[in-house]
Structure formats: structure tokens, C-alpha cells
Amino acid sequence: MNILMFTNTYRPIVGGVSESVQRHKSRLQEQGHRVMVVAPKMDGQPPHESDVARVAAVQHFNGSDFSLPVPIPGQLSDAIEAFEPDVVHSHHPFLLGDTAARAANTYGLPLIFTHHTLYEHYTHYVPGDSPRMQRFAVALSTEYTRLCDAVIAPSESIRDLLVRRGVRPEVTVVPSGVDTGKFALGDGKRLHRALGIPDDAYVIGHVGRLAHEKNLPFLARVAAETLRREPLAHFLVVGDGDARPAMERAAEQAGVAERFHFTGRLQGQALIDAYHAMHVFAFASHSETQGMVLVEAMAAGLPVVAIEAPGVREVVSDGVNGRLLANDDEPGMVDALTELADLERQLTLQQAAWRTAQEFEESLCTSRCLEVYRRAIADGPSRQDDVSGWERVRARLEAEWSLLRHRGRVLRSMLQEPQQDGTTGYPTLDDETRLSPK
């Protein structure tokens, strides 16, 4: 099968979507499928990429690590026609997501969309962040699904949310996979020595982008208080981002800064070794659709202490493979982390954590995604191999008209005032919390 993917984030960006696309592509290719990824040009990208088509992009958009793709009509036509795709897989509902919709319509291909991200949690990255902008973000991804032949959600929580938002067609759950065998093997002692962490230390760990939407100031306060209670405890943070100064301040205010360790971004074996340098994994984000780092941590044998949220609840079972807190309860999370300083308690959860990780093995997730592709190909349009120039132009015009109607629906949704119950017509997680019975 020839699979054409479109993503706004790709290597060298370190993040959940970028990593998910790279892993999925590699696993598909290992199984004999051909994959071409369309992604923005980025500083530091690999010099030679035979299976990646890069498009022009504005670097470091709004001061972030991300590049803003600037798709130019027609620039990909030759590459797409030479690749002869059977299916188009879009990983975003905008920018290169629009380009994916054009390509699918123009060449008569089924369009698959994976809803990786709750975009309403990321509107602070664009000018004019407001409740109206959050409604726009929800409407953008929801309405985009009308252009698609199949929709994938990475967790049951997100599938249920999308269904409540009125997403069509049917949503299939396909988690982002993890090579659990690879993450099971690591050397944490090497990192302990490099950072000066004693052999008898109790190491609480966290991995991810240090971004404010990840609820990291809260997590840092929890870790700092746990370290104040536990003299042998250390906090190991893998990643970097604009929330790091707030985390460092929390450590300084608690008088435990010397036991907070920031490694910066790590990849490959260095990342795996970092997981193995931890005894428990701490997580407080509300913005995840799956939380791939939770599976990575469990594959390394780590119990997880986390805040209950979409994507998290499918991975963490309270008292089974970790602790799951109902809300941002600082004393409760400190108690949970302190409880796991006991080695016996850690061991009772480790085996269950490892078994949970096996449910997210990459090969299983890739097989599920391939089944979605096959169904969409069987039920959807067939590839237009031998069509006239006029028919191709007409298909392109139809694609532009579909996108124009899509944008019109999104703008109308953005301009609507909230309903009397406080919702916008597309329920967000905040709406559901506000409206649920106490």
C-alpha cells in the first residue's frame, strides 16, 4: 500500500505528534508499505530524506519551536503523482491538513484524519487568545472531519468527546504505538552518576515538552513538597520549554533546587536510559489525547502517578499500575508520590505497569491503522490514474469549494455566542466538567 501522510510537525521537532508520525511511518515501512510524509521545512532537519517532501515554512512561529507551513498550490503535484498514493492520512485539521484534503479530492483518494490534539488547549500560541479563539479551535477540528472518509482517535476518551461534538464519520480508536521491547532495556545508573544522584535516592521523573498547557507549575510544586518530605527524593525532568523557569522557581522557594535535575531534550537510548533512572513517573497534564510518555514509562517498568484526564484514564488504573488523582489535588498527589517511595509498594505496581504497556505495542497499533486504511479504500473513491487535465482541474475546484464551505462553517461557529448553559455547540472538556452532576 502507498500511504501519503501530511503533518505540520515532524523531525527534528520533539513532541507527541511528531514522534507518533515517525514511529507509524517506520513500522509501516518495516511491513513492506511505501510511505511519503509531507512536512514543513525546519531548521536542523536531516539533510537527506528520500521519503519526505518538505514545504516552505516560517521558522519559530510566534517564538515557539514550531514551523508554520506555507503551502504553495501545485508545488507537490509532481511528487504526489510520482508516488501514486492509495490513501491520504492527515495528522492536522489545518495548514497541511488543508493540503491533504485538496490532494485526496483532486486524486480521488480516501482521506483519513487522526485527531491527535485538543487544540483549544493551545490557543495561547497564537495572537488573540480568547474564549472565542478556543471555540474556533474546536470548530476547526470538528468541521474538518466532514471532509474525511475515516477519523481516528488515539483514546476512547477522545473518541467519546468527538462523538458528542457531532463528528462524522465513525471514529475508530487507534492509540499511538510504542516499541515496548526497546523501552524495557536501559541503564539508569549512568545518568545517576552524571547528575550526582545517589544510589539510594528515590527518583520521581517526568518527560515531555515543558509547556504551560502541561500543568507543569502544579507538578513542580507537588514534586518540591514531596522532596521536602522525603530527604532521599530527587526530581528528574527530561525536556525543555517555556515552563522551565516556573518549575525552577518552585524548587528554589521550597529549598530543594539542588535535587531538581533538568536534562534538556533527550532522544533514542539516552531517553530510554532516563526512564530507567526513575522509580516513579509523575504527570499532571489535562491536554493529552493519549499521553504516549505514560506508555513509554510503563514499558520501562515505572508506576505512574497522574491527574485523571482524557487519554490518561485509559492508561493509568488507580492502585493497579499507579495512582490516579481525580483533580489538581496537591496534597493528594504529594501523598501518592510519598507512598511510592516505599520499595515494596513500587514493586507491586511495576509488573502491572509493564503489562499495560504491552497493550500499546507498535505492531498492534499499526495493524489497527492498516485496517482503517483498507476499509476506507474499499468503501471510498478509487484513485484517478487516467483522467483528463480538465477532470483533474474540476476535482481541484471541487476540493477548493469543499474547503471554502468548511471555513464558512468554522467562522459561523466562532462568531456564535455561548448557549445559555455555557456551551458553544461543540462541547469541550471544560463544558462537560461544568455541566456534569455534582
Residues 53 and 120 in one domain: yes
Residues 330 and 195 in one domain: yes
pLDDT of 101 higher than 80: yes
Pairing label, strands 111-114, 260-264: unpaired
Domain termination residue (choose one: 358, 387, 418): 358
In-domain check, residue 438: no
Residues 11 and 141 in one domain: yes
Helix or strand (DSSP H, E) at 4 = strand 2-6
Q: Model confidence over 164-183: pLDDT tens digits?
A: 988 877 899 999 999 999 99
Distance, CA of 275 to chain centre: 19
In-domain check, residue 27: yes
pLDDT computed for residue 14 by the predictor = 78
Residues 391 and 332 in one domain: no
Residues 385 and 414 in one domain: yes
In-domain check, residue 313: yes
- Give the whole-number percent of the chain exceeding pLDDT 70: 82
Residues 161 and 297 in one domain: no
For 147, list phi and psi in degrees, rounded to 5.
-85, -5
Q: Does the N-terminal peptide bond of residue 12 adopt cis geometry, omega within 30 degrees of 0? A: yes
Mean pLDDT for the chain overall: 86
pLDDT computed for residue 112 by the predictor = 97
Residues 348 and 422 in one domain: no
Spatial contact of 188 and 273, defined as CB atoms under 8 Å apart: yes
Residues 188 and 310 in one domain: yes
| Dihedral-angle region of residue 12 (phi above 0 means left; psi in -120 to 50 means alpha; beta otherwise) | alpha
In-domain check, residue 118: yes
Tell me the sheet residues that pair with 312.
Answer: none
Residues 59 and 23 in one domain: yes
Once rounded to an integer, what is the mean pLDDT over residues 213-241? 97
pLDDT of 299 higher than 90: yes
Q: Model confidence over 331-386: pLDDT tens digits?
A: 999 999 999 999 999 999 999 999 999 999 999 999 999 999 999 999 876 555 55
Domain termination residue (choose one: 330, 358, 386): 358
Q: Model confidence over 125-179: pLDDT tens digits?
A: 676 667 777 888 888 888 899 889 999 999 999 999 999 988 877 899 999 999 9
Q: Model confidence over 240-298: pLDDT tens digits?
A: 999 999 999 999 999 999 999 999 999 999 999 999 999 999 999 998 888 899 999 99
pLDDT computed for residue 403 by the predictor = 63
In-domain check, residue 327: yes
- Give the whole-number percent of the chain exceeding pLDDT 90: 63
Cell of 130: 480568547
pLDDT computed for residue 213 by the predictor = 87
| Domain residue limits at 160 | 2-177+362-432
Here the CATH number for the domain that contains residue 134 is 3.40.50.2000
pLDDT of 436 higher than 50: no
- Quote the number of domains for the chain: 2
pLDDT computed for residue 287 by the predictor = 84
Q: How confident is the model at residue 53 (pLDDT cuts 50, 70, 90)?
A: very high
Domain termination residue (choose one: 338, 358, 378): 358
CA distance 263 to 274: 9
Residues 102 and 22 in one domain: yes
Once rounded to an integer, what is the mean pLDDT over residues 4-15? 90
For the ranges 68-77, 112-121, 188-197, 310-319, the lowest mean pLDDT is seen at 68-77
Q: Model confidence over 387-430: pLDDT tens digits?
A: 545 455 555 556 555 666 666 666 666 566 554 433 445 555 45
For the ranges 13-22, 82-91, 211-220, 415-424, the lowest mean pLDDT is seen at 415-424
Residues 305 and 375 in one domain: no
Once rounded to an integer, what is the mean pLDDT over residues 108-134? 81
Residues 192 and 172 in one domain: no
Please report the DSSP string for 194-235 in residue order. HHT--TT-EEEEEES---GGG-HHHHHHHHHHHHHH-TTEEE
In-domain check, residue 437: no
CA distance 356 to 349: 11
